[in-house]
C-alpha cells in the first residue's frame, strides 16, 4: 500500500526571501467533517482562555522510501529480511523538507510563537504548541465549541472545520485537536468476581481435556484462564525466557489506567510464584502518572501487566503510562485539553534509540471517529516502529462489527458522513496495515467469541501481504452478502487471535475475571516476545513487523479457528469463522512450538 495522498505531496515553489504576510493571506479549508460523531452534541462556545495543546504534523516526503524498507526487512523471502533500520535512519526518512520547516516557522512566528516555545519531535515532523482557544481560532480561522457525549457525560473542546493560509496547505498535513472526536477507550467487557465461578473451577480439578496442539490441558481452563492455562493451550510449557539477552516486552496504558504493583505481586504469588518480587520499568509519557493507590488501580492496566509480565518472566518489561484527555469542566478553569494519546506515545518511543522488540496496546475506537489524516499519520508511525524491528500488536475491539454498544441487538451502526447509512464500523488503530491486530477466542476447543472485533477498513486499502488470504474468504461469501455494509477492498482485520474471556486477574486485592480483546493482545504479544527471545538467543534479529511472515508462512504455526460469529448492526452473523483467514479470528491462535521452529529456520 502507498499512502501517496498524504506522504507524497508535491512541494510549492521555493519561498521568496521576504516574509509572508500570513495574517493577510486568504484562508482555505484544510479539513472538515460533516458533524460530530453520534453521541456528541455541541454545547457552548469554548472559553477563549482555555488552553489547547495543538500538534502540527508536517509532511514526510520520503515516507514511500521508508515503507519500501519496511516491506523488505519484514519479508522472510527477501534478502534484507531482519535488516532493521536505526533511529537515525528512520528519522531521516520521516523528516520534512527544509522549506516546510522554514515556512511553518515563519507562520508560527507571525503569531508570536518563537522557537523556544515550540516542541519538536525527534524527526522534526511534528510541532507542538500551547495556545489559548482565542489564538487558535484566529490562526485556524475557526470557532471551537464544547461538545458533550450523551452516554458518558464527558466534555471536550473541538471544532468541525479549520482553515489555513493556502500557501501552508502543502506544508502541513494536519492539526489536532480540531476535528477529532475519538475517545480511544480501553477494550474490555464486564468485570466478574472470581468467587462467582469458583465452584465450576473446583469441580474440574484434576481433569484434563485436549488442547488445540493435541496436548492435555487442565479442564479448569475452560472456565478460568490463568498463565498456566495459556502456556498449556499454546504449547509453551517447556519454554523458559532469558533475562539477559536484550529481549524486552512493552505494554501501554492510556487515559488514567494505572498498573497496581501490590496487585501484580499478589497475582505473581497466585499464578507465577517464580516472578514474585520482580518489577518492571515504568515510563511516563506526556505526564502519565503512576498512581499506586488501590482506588486508582485500572482493570485494563492490571490485566495487561499481570498476564503480559506473568507469561514472559524473566524477560525485562516496560509499562508506558501516557496521559490522555483530562476531565474538562466547561464551567471551571481547566488544564490543557488533549486527546491525542497515540501521537504523544509515538513521539516518545520514536525518539528513543532502543525499544522493546514487542509492544502491545489494548485501546482504540471506531475508525470513522478518527479523521483520515490523523489515522494515516499515526499509522505511518506504526510503520516506523516496524522498520525499526518492533512487533506492534493491537486489540481488534470488543463490539464485533458494530459501535461501542456491547449489546449486538442495540448497536447503532451508521456512517458519519451526513448520509447516516447503516454500515459496519471498523476499529482504529487495529485496521492500520502496519500493525498486527488480535481478535478473541473462547473455550476448548477454541471458537471465535461473539464480541471479537473484525472487518474491513474504510481508510486503508488491502495490503499485498494479505491479498490471497482475504480474497479467499470473500470468495466464500454468497454474492451480495452484506453488500454496501463494508469496504470489500479494505485492509482486513484481525490478523490473529487468542483467548479473550474469563482471565483471572487481581484487582484491588481481590481475584476477578475479565474478558475482551484486551486479554487477547497482551497474550499473543507475550508469545511473540518468546519467539523474539528464541531468535535472539541464537544470534538472529527480532521478528519486527509480523504480518508478512504470518500471511506467507507463519500461518502454519497457528491453530485455525473455524467456528464462531460476531452478530451486530442488525445482522445475525456479520462475520464468521471459517477455514483460513476470517475477519473475526484472523489466521488463528498460536502454537508456540510450531512457530518457534518456523522463526528459527528463517535468517
Catalytic annotation, residues: 300, 304, 518
**Is the Cβ–Cβ distance between 593 and 213 less than 8 Å?**
yes
Length of the chain: 603
Q: Calculate helix-pair angle for 517-537, 299-312, nearest 10 degrees.
A: 30
- C-alpha dihedral (385, 388, 393, 396), degrees to nearest 10: 40
How many CB atoms within 10 Å of residue 530? 26
Q: How many CB atoms lie within 10 A of CB 572?
A: 9
Helices (H), 18-83: 63-74
Closest to 335 measured CA to CA, from 51, 38, 113: 51
Instruction: Report DSSP state, residue 246.
Output: S
Rounded alpha-carbon distances, angstroms, from residue 579 to 130, 377, 560, 564, 576 = 52, 34, 7, 11, 10
| Crossing angle for the helix pair 372-387 and 341-350, to the nearest 10 degrees | 30
Q: Element (H or E) spanning 249, and its range?
A: strand 249-254
582 is in an annotated binding site: yes
Task: Tell me the C-alpha to C-alpha distance, in Å, between residue 483 and each of 142, 402, 487, 493, 564.
Answer: 38, 16, 9, 18, 21
d(CA 68, CA 434): 12
Among the listed residues 82, 73, 79, 67, the one whose alpha carbon sits nearest the alpha carbon of residue 532 = 82
Helix (H, G, I), strand (E, B) or coil at 161: strand
Nearest to 241 by CA among 559, 557, 530: 530
Residues 64/2, Cβ–Cβ less than 8 Å: yes
Which CA distances in Å does 541 have to 360, 418, 533, 537, 558? 19, 48, 10, 10, 22
| DSSP of 281-296 | EEEEETT-----SGGG
Is 580 annotated to bind ligand?
yes
Annotation: binding site: 560-561, 580, 582
Annotation: binding site for Ca(2+): 560-561, 580, 582
Amino acid at each position: 500500500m502507498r499512502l501517496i495522498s498524504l506522504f507524497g505531496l508535491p512541494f510549492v515553489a521555493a519561498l521568496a526571501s521576504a516574509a509572508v504576510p500570513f495574517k493577510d493571506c486568504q484562508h482555505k479549508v484544510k479539513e472538515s467533517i460533516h458533524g460530530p460523531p453520534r453521541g456528541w452534541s455541541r454545547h457552548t462556545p469554548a472559553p477563549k482562555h482555555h488552553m489547547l495543546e495543538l500538534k502540527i504534523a508536517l509532511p514526510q516526503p520520503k515516507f514511500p522510501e521508508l515503507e519500501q524498507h519496511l516491506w523488505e526487512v519484514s519479508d522472510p523471502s527477501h534478502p534484507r529480511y531482519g535488516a532493521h533500520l536505526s533511529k537515525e535512519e528512520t528519522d531521516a526518512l520521516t523528516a520534512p523538507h527544509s522549506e516546510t520547516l522554514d515556512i511553518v516557522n515563519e507562520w508560527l512566528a507571525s503569531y508570536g510563537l518563537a522557537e523556544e516555545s515550540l516542541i519538536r519531535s525527534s524527526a522534526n515532523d511534528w510541532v507542538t504548541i500551547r495556545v489559548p482557544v482565542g489564538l487558535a481560532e484566529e490562526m485556524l480561522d475557526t470557532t471551537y465549541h464544547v461538545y458533550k457525549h450523551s452516554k458518558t457525560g464527558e466534555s471536550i473542546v473541538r471544532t468541525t472545520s479549520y482553515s489555513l493560509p493556502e500557501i501552508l496547505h502543502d506544508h502541513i498535513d494536519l492539526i489536532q485537536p480540531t476535528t477529532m472526536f475519538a475517545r480511544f477507550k480501553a477494550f474490555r467487557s464486564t468485570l466478574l468476581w472470581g468467587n462467582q465461578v469458583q465452584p465450576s473451577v473446583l469441580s474440574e480439578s484434576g481433569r484434563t481435556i485436549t488442547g488445540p496442539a493435541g496436548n492435555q490441558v487442565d479442564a479448569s481452563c475452560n472456565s478460568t484462564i490463568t498463565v498456566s492455562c495459556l502456556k498449556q493451550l499454546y504449547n509453551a510449557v517447556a519454554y523458559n525466557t532469558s533475562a539477559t539477552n536484550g529481549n524486552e516486552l512493552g505494554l501501554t496504558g492510556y487515559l488514567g489506567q494505572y498498573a497496581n504493583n501490590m496487585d501484580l505481586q499478589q497475582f505473581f504469588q497466585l499464578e507465577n510464584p517464580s516472578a514474585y518480587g520482580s518489577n518492571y520499568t515504568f515510563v511516563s509519557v506526556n505526564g502519565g502518572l503512576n498512581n499506586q493507590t488501590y482506588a486508582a488501580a485500572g482493570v485494563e492496566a492490571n490485566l495487561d501487566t499481570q498476564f503480559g509480565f506473568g507469561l514472559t518472566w524473566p524477560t525485562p518489561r516496560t509499562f508506558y503510562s501516557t496521559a490522555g484527555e483530562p476531565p474538562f469542566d466547561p464551567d471551571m478553569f481547566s488544564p490543557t485539553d488533549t486527546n491525542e494519546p497515540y501521537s504523544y506515545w509515538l513521539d516518545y518511543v520514536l525518539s528513543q534509540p532502543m525499544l522493546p522488540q514487542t509492544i502491545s496496546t489494548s485501546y482504540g475506537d471506531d475508525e470513522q471517529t478518527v479523521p483520515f489524516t490523523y489515522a494515516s499519520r499515526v499509522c505511518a508511525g506504526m510503520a516506523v516502529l516496524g522498520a525499526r524491528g518492533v512487533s506492534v500488536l493491537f486489540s481488534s475491539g470488543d463490539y464485533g462489527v458494530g459501535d461501542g454498544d456491547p449489546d449486538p441487538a442495540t448497536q447503532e451502526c451508521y456512517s458519519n458522513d451526513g448520509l447516516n447509512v447503516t454500515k459496519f464500523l471498523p476499529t482504529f488503530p487495529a485496521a492500520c496495515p502496519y500493525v498486527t491486530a488480535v481478535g478473541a477466542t473462547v473455550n476448548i476447543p477454541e471458537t471465535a467469541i461473539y464480541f471479537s472485533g473484525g472487518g474491513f477498513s474504510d481508510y486503508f486499502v488491502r495490503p499485498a501481504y494479505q491479498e490471497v488470504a482475504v480474497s479467499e474468504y470473500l470468495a466464500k461469501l454468497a454474492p451480495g452478502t452484506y453488500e454496501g455494509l463494508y469496504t470489500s477492498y479494505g485492509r482486513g482485520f484481525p490478523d490473529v487471535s487468542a483467548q479473550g474471556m474469563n482471565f483471572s486477574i487481581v484487582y484491588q486485592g481481590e481475584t476477578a475475571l475479565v474478558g475482551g480483546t484486551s486479554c487477547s493482545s497482551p497474550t499473543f504479544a507475550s508469545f511473540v516476545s518468546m519467539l523474539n527471545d528464541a531468535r535472539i538467543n541464537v544470534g538472529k534479529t527480532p521478528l519486527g513487523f509480523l504480518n508478512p511472515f504470518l500471511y506467507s508462512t507463519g500461518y502454519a504455526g497457528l491453530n485455525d479457528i473455524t467456528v464462531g460469529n460476531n452478530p451486530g448492526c442488525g445482522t445475525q452473523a456479520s462475520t464468521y469463522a471459517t477455514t483460513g483467514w476470517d475477519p473475526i479470528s484472523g489466521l488463528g491462535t498460536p502454537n508456540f512450538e510450531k512457530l518457534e521452529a518456523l522463526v528459527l529456520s528463517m535468517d
